[in-house]
Amino acid sequence: MSLLVVGSLAVDTIETPFARKERALGGSATYISLAAQYFVGADISLVGVVGDDFPAHAWKLFKDRGFNLDGVEVIEGGKTFFWEGKYHYDMNTRDSIATELNVFADFSPKVPNAQLKPEFLVLGNIEPRLQSDVIDQLQAQPKLILLDTMDYWIKSARPALEETLSKANALVINDSEARLLVETPSLIVAGKKLQQMLSPVTDRIVIIKKGEHGALLFFNDKLFSAPAYPLEEIFDPTGAGDSFMGGFIGYLARRGSIDYENVKRAVVFGTVLASYCCGKFSTEGIESLTLDAISDRFKELQFLSAFQEEPELAIG
Ligand code: AMP
């Protein structure tokens, strides 16, 4: 199943209350593709832009996994998108210390001819106008178009974001961004309102991430509450949201069909990839996993959240 990933390719400096790492590999497309490949293997194409300072080990990571990089533009003499983030003590909240767009400032995504009919498309967090432009370039409707966004675009580019949402059928968003986008305090109401903003043509899927409290899935008229993995030590949460998306869409692409049970499992696999991501700095936590390790954590989550029927109150 072919997967097209569009998003940022970045160099990040990350500071947590316990450690700091300068110029690590980052970017939404990086985390999404590294997480998804456990499920889909090499059938992943990237669209993005970098400068000639993009780390050699990043190219190696992508090439070793067989990703198609024809859609990654390299600007000679240009500097790769740079982001610096500082996490607060609870590791749930962070401040963006620096966002240097560099080559990203003039980025206009160009999907290579051979990738114009992807079965699955994931649009990482970039300007909504560019996300919409990618959808318009496609020559066939993918089985799933999954979208990410952030508070910055909700505040600064709402009309373009609304247009992009109307062309997509799945959205992953965190709780505070969901409340901001539909201006409502209830996450249940927010999820339903967000579904109404998506394309009416296919299934409408909204996932609201609640950090260490799990995620809510809205699948058409169904609701599912997924637990978070109880990770004892969070080392670096950078990329957790993107790893979630990669695990989620990677699993669905592997299964090939988008029904409620598959989508629920995909949310749990997304949660598993996000938890591995938080266990080490930068992309290190999702660079060398195995399907066995992923499956073990999936089963742990299943065990942790299962409970039995109450016999005394059961009717009949
Ligand atoms: P996440 O922690 O899942 O939200 O993703 C963090 C990644 O997003 C980092 O590796 C950053 O390089 C990247 N990032 C941060 N800000 C932006 C932005 N404004 N546009 C695109 N990517 C960004």
pTM to 2 decimals? 0.96
The pLDDT tens digits of the residues spanning 156-205 come to 999 999 999 999 999 999 999 999 999 999 999 999 999 999 999 999 99
Atom of ligand 1 nearest to the CA of 10: 12
**Which is the CATH superfamily of the domain at 3-304?**
Ribokinase (3.40.1190.20)
Q: Which residues pair with 51 in a beta bridge?
A: 75
Q: Is the CB of 50 under 6 A from ligand 1?
A: no
Task: Please give the helix or strand (H or E) that residue 49 lies within, else none.
Answer: strand 44-51
- Structure-model confidence comparison of residues 113 and 18, the more confident one: 113
The pLDDT tens digits of the residues spanning 85-122 come to 999 998 888 999 999 999 999 999 999 999 999 999 99
H helical segments located in the chain: 28-40, 56-64, 128-137, 151-156, 158-165, 175-182, 187-197, 240-255, 260-278, 291-305
pLDDT at 230: 94
Q: Are 40 and 250 a contacting pair, CB within 8 Å?
A: yes
Q: Which residue among 15, 238, 278 has the greatest number of ligand 1 atoms within 8 angstroms of its CB, and so is best to mutate? A: 238
pLDDT at 316: 60
The pLDDT tens digits of the residues spanning 200-256 come to 999 999 999 998 899 999 999 999 999 999 999 899 999 999 999 999 999 999 999
Q: Cα-flanking dihedrals φ and ψ of residue 125, to 5°? A: -70, 95
pLDDT at 315: 64
Q: Which residue among 30, 34, 83 has the greatest number of ligand 1 atoms within 8 angstroms of its CB, and so is best to mutate? A: 83
- For the chain, the structural domain boundaries read 3-304
Which residue has a Cα nearest atom 1 of ligand 1?
239
Q: How far is the CA of 76 from the centre of ligand 1 (A)?
A: 23
Q: How far is the CA of 316 from the centre of ligand 1 (A)?
A: 53
